[in-house]
Amino acid sequence: MKNFLAVSSLVVLLGGCGLIAALDQMDREADQRACDGFGFRRRTDAYSNCMMQQAAQREAEDQRAQRARDREAFERVRRR
| Domain residue ranges of the chain, discontinuous segments joined by + | 2-79
**Longest CA span, the chain:** 57
Q: What is the pLDDT of residue 35?
A: 98
Q: What is the pLDDT of residue 18?
A: 82
Q: What is the pLDDT of residue 19?
A: 83
The CA dihedral of 37, 41, 43, 47, to the nearest 10 degrees, is -50
Residue type, 40: F
**Could you give the CA distance from residue 56 to residue 48 in angstroms, rounded to a whole number?**
12
Residues in the chain: 80
* Residue 15 pLDDT exceeds 70: no
> Do 49 and 35 meet the contact criterion of CB atoms below 8 Å apart?
no
Mean pLDDT for the chain overall = 87
Looking at the whole model, is its pTM more than 0.85?
no
* Residue 70 pLDDT exceeds 80: yes
